[in-house]
Amino acid sequence: MNTGVGIPLPAAAPGWSVEADVVVVGSGVAGLTAALRCATAGLRTVVVTKARLDDGSTRWAQGGIAAALGAGDTPEQHCEDTLVAGAGLCDTAAVRTLVGEGPDAVRRLIETGARFDRDTASGRLLLTREGGHHRRRIAHAGGDATGAEISRALVEAVRRAGIETVENALVLDLLKDAAGRAAGVTLHVMGEGRRDGVGAVRARSVVLATGGMGQVYSATTNPAVSTGDGVALALRAGAEVADLEFVQFHPTVLFLGGDAEGQQPLVSEAVRGEGGHLVDAAGVRFMVGRHELAELAPRDIVAKGIMRRMRERDAEHMLLDARHFGAEKWRQRFPTILAACRAHGIDPVTEPVPVAPAAHYASGGVRTDLYGRTTVPGLYACGEVACTGVHGANRLASNSLLEGLVFAERIAAEIVSRTPEQAPAPAQAPAPAQAPAAAAGPGGALLAPEARTAIQRTMTSGAGVLRSADSLAAAAAELTGLAAAATDRLLRDGRTADPCVESWETTNLLLVSRVLVAAARAREETRGCHWREDRPRPDDARWSRHLVARLTPEGEIALDPSATADLPPTRPPHPSADAREETREHA
């Protein structure tokens, strides 16, 4: 299947178009923040989103947003915890930017209308802890409905500001001008209305805020819209992506059976932050003694601890015991989780909750600098779709909403500062924006929607929480086979799968899966959330570096281990922790 640079998804020529200064693709915390700041500065801003404005990943975020807002806490301490969780791969400058600008960014979010939980007597923000944080620094809302509240506040602000929005629109490809600069996007609007079918939003600045790619796996905490569309678009546009091998598996996702598929209910780390314990079927707290922070160790360590115990006990899940909270605390502090558990017949007030790890967050993504600029001029990325260098090999809990907020604001400031030179060309002399080739003729091959399940199963068994050279080689072969079958069909029959949302999404899933697997094969070490059973230790000499990937015009995946100038040391092993056990397990 040819998915090379410049070869777009096959689609009809745009039947309608809209002009703007900025098009923001995605409507989570990152997208809406970027849009609000651009619009407030007077730029014509259009938001394009795949479902409804409030349907992205942000609304599912439970735990909260991390920032040094509490008495005695400092950005330096937040920086330290972030670097430790990132296992030697965070870009320190990006982390300093995040933690330094974070507290004021949260205050601005509050001014925008987000209502966080506060102590009724003092009015102070209530702060909780999550894995890897040595302090209480996670602000939350509605108990465990932080993302929903942030989404509500931002959606209302966007509506108040009168920002034009295009909902139910799957972004297809980047438009570029003759100089290779971003010039807008093509998109397909689902349903009938003023604009439907394939269209274009033409703008000199394109902000990708499309969220993650959790749907490459069978079970994930991500909503159905998280199909890696932004990363796939960026790759086809010639942009670099980085660190795709670092997929974070959330340790505690409600276990609904070994064959459960699609979006699974999250059981926030904040449950452990408030004193919930992980136990096995015999009631043993197996994380105690494995790490100084026990259940609140960084997320990769807890996920590994659970997986190991599951293996040792031949169990499909572990248990999260927070019965001691009592009914009132469960109701007040964790109403969303309580309702999700009860909907599945489990009452956390009277019984431990079955949990197992599931795909949760892409720490890598479209490579950006500190201003959200990608390697394609005029194309920016923020939020989960981006790789700013903040997360390194493993994202610290609740840093993602903060990252979306901080870097979206930086992108908006950058775009606004360039406005004079970005003024759109006068109407009588429109700047030539090249439509993707598909608008004029055939593009690459499309994958039939039925291939989605095969991709998800392949990724789950070959490139999931545990990987090895063999499992990754098998996954690569399966994915190559799917791609080859689509190309063969195109060559043999002169036709491809019908262009439709499902086939575009499935084609995107395949592309990002192939790059993820290629990167995971190349990184012959264990680091952060990339856990290679055949290479159980970090290899700092070879791999204290990011792995940058791009597509060639021929559709090959080119990988470049890019040296990083400023790497902190790899996480020092805790005396009782991972390193010894890994040695034993893999000896």
Q: Which residues belong to the active site? A: 299
Using the minimum distance from each CB to ligand SIN, give the nearer residue, 152 or 521: 152
**Closest to 59 measured CA to CA, from 181, 136, 144:** 144
Q: Is 400 in the site for ligand SIN (CB under 6 A)?
A: yes
270 contacts ligand SIN (rule: CB under 6 A): yes
- Residue 397 contacts ligand SIN per CB under 6 A: yes
Element (H, E) at 473: helix 469-493
Neighbouring C-beta atoms of residue 469, cutoff 10 Å: 14
Give the x/- contact pattern for ligand SIN in 449-488, rule: CB under 6 A: ----------------------------------------
Neighbour tally for 115: CB within 10 Å: 12
Which lies closer to ligand SIN via its Cβ, residue 200 or residue 355? 355
Q: Could you count the other beta carbons within 10 Å of the beta carbon of residue 501?
A: 14
Q: Show the tokens assigned to 81.
A: 């915890």
Q: Which stretch binds ligand SIN (CB under 6 A): 182-190, 202-210, 267-275, 313-321?
A: 267-275
Joined together, the tokens standing for residue 123 give 């009015």
By C-beta, is 205 or 398 nearer to ligand SIN?
398
Of 466, 470, 586, the C-alpha closest to 537 is 586
Q: Which of 416, 422, 412, 367 is nearest to 389 (CA)?
A: 367
In 3D space, the residue among 395, 425, 387, 7 whose CA is nearest the CA of residue 177 turns out to be: 425
| Residue numbers 59-78 binding ligand SIN by CB under 6 A | 62-63
Name the amino acid, one letter, at 312.
E
> Considering beta carbons, is residue 63 or 276 the nearer one to ligand SIN?
63
Residue 268 as a binder of ligand SIN (CB under 6 A): the answer is yes
Q: Site for ligand SIN (CB under 6 A): how many residues?
A: 9
Q: Which is nearer to ligand SIN, 357 or 462 (CB)?
A: 357
| Under rule CB under 6 A, residue 276 binds ligand SIN | no
CB 268, min distance to ligand SIN, A:
3
Q: Which stretch binds ligand SIN (CB under 6 A): 18-26, 198-206, 268-276, 278-286?
A: 268-276
How many Å separate Cα 193 from the centre of its chain?
31
| Cα separation, 244 vs 472, whole angstroms | 14
Q: What are phi and psi of 496, to 5 degrees?
A: -125, 175
Stretch that binds ligand SIN, among 173-181, 192-200, 320-328, 397-405 (CB under 6 A): 397-405
Q: At closest approach, how far in Å is the CB of 192 from ligand SIN? A: 37
Structure tokens given for 561: 């281990």
Closer residue to ligand SIN (CB): 63 or 499: 63
Identify which of residues 65 and 476 has a Cβ nearer to ligand SIN in the complex. 65
The minimum distance between CB 147 and ligand SIN, in angstroms, equals 9
Residues 332-391 interacting with ligand SIN (rule: CB under 6 A): 361
Distances (CA, A) of 210 to 29, 38, 382: 11, 17, 8
Q: Which is nearer to ligand SIN, 396 or 490 (CB)?
A: 396
For residue 380, the SS3 value is strand
Chain centroid offset of residue 222 CA: 9
Stretch that binds ligand SIN, among 265-273, 440-448, 476-484, 492-500 (CB under 6 A): 265-273
The reply to whether 279 sits near ligand SIN by the rule CB under 6 A is: no
User: Is the Cβ–Cβ distance between 303 and 317 less than 8 Å?
Assistant: no
DSSP one-letter code for 472: H
* Cβ closest to ligand SIN, residue 103 vs residue 147: 147
Q: How far apart are CB 139 and ligand SIN at their closest, in Å?
A: 12
**Which residue, 104, 112, 140, 144, is CA-closest to 125?**
140
> Is 263 one of the binding residues for ligand SIN (CB under 6 A)?
no
| Interacting span for ligand SIN (CB under 6 A) from 17-25, 340-348, 392-400, 435-443 | 392-400
The C-alpha angle 232, 229, 159, rounded to 5 degrees, equals 140
For the bound state, the minimum distance from the C-beta of residue 437 to ligand SIN, rounded and expressed in Å, comes to 38
- Interface stretch with ligand SIN, choices 75-83, 262-270, 384-392, 445-453 (CB under 6 A): 262-270
Tell me the closest approach of the beta carbon of residue 378 to ligand SIN, in angstroms.
Answer: 30
Shortest Cβ 38–ligand SIN spacing (Å): 26
Only one of the segments 182-190, 264-272, 426-434, 472-480 lies at the binding site for ligand SIN (rule: CB under 6 A); that segment is 264-272
Residue nearest ligand SIN, CB atom distance: 63
Q: Are 570 and 87 in contact (CB under 8 A)?
A: yes
List the Cα angle 54/127/77 in 5-degree steps.
Answer: 105
- Is 143 one of the binding residues for ligand SIN (CB under 6 A)? no
Using DSSP's 3-state secondary structure scheme, residue 392 falls into: coil
Listed residue (576, 527, 573, 536) closest to 88, CA to CA: 527
Range in contact with ligand SIN (rule: CB under 6 A) among 396-404, 438-446, 459-467, 472-480: 396-404
Using DSSP, state whether 455 is helix, strand or coil. helix
Q: How far is the CB of 295 from ligand SIN (least distance, A)?
A: 12
Please state the closest distance from residue 48 (CB atom) to ligand SIN, in A. Answer: 25
362 phi and psi angles, rounded to 5 deg: -90, 110
The Cβ-side half-sphere exposure at 126, using a 13 Å CA radius, reads 19
Q: For ligand SIN, which is the closer residue by CB, 247 or 397?
A: 397
Alpha helix (H) residue ranges in 86-136:
92-112
Beta strands in 314-410 (DSSP E): 318-321, 353-362, 365-367, 379-381, 386-387
Sign of CA dihedral 162, 166, 171, 174: negative
Q: Per rule CB under 6 A, is residue 269 in the interface with ligand SIN?
A: yes
CB nearer ligand SIN, residue 186 or residue 398: 398
Q: Identify the CA nearest to 187 among candidates 169, 167, 207.
A: 169
Reported as type and span, the H/E element at residue 164 is strand 164-166
Least distance (Å) between residue 291 CB and ligand SIN: 17
Q: Tell the smallest beta-carbon distance from residue 361 to ligand SIN (Å).
A: 6
**Cβ atoms 154, 112 nearer than 8 A:** yes
Q: For binding to ligand SIN (CB under 6 A), which residues are involved?
A: 62-63, 268-270, 361, 397-398, 400
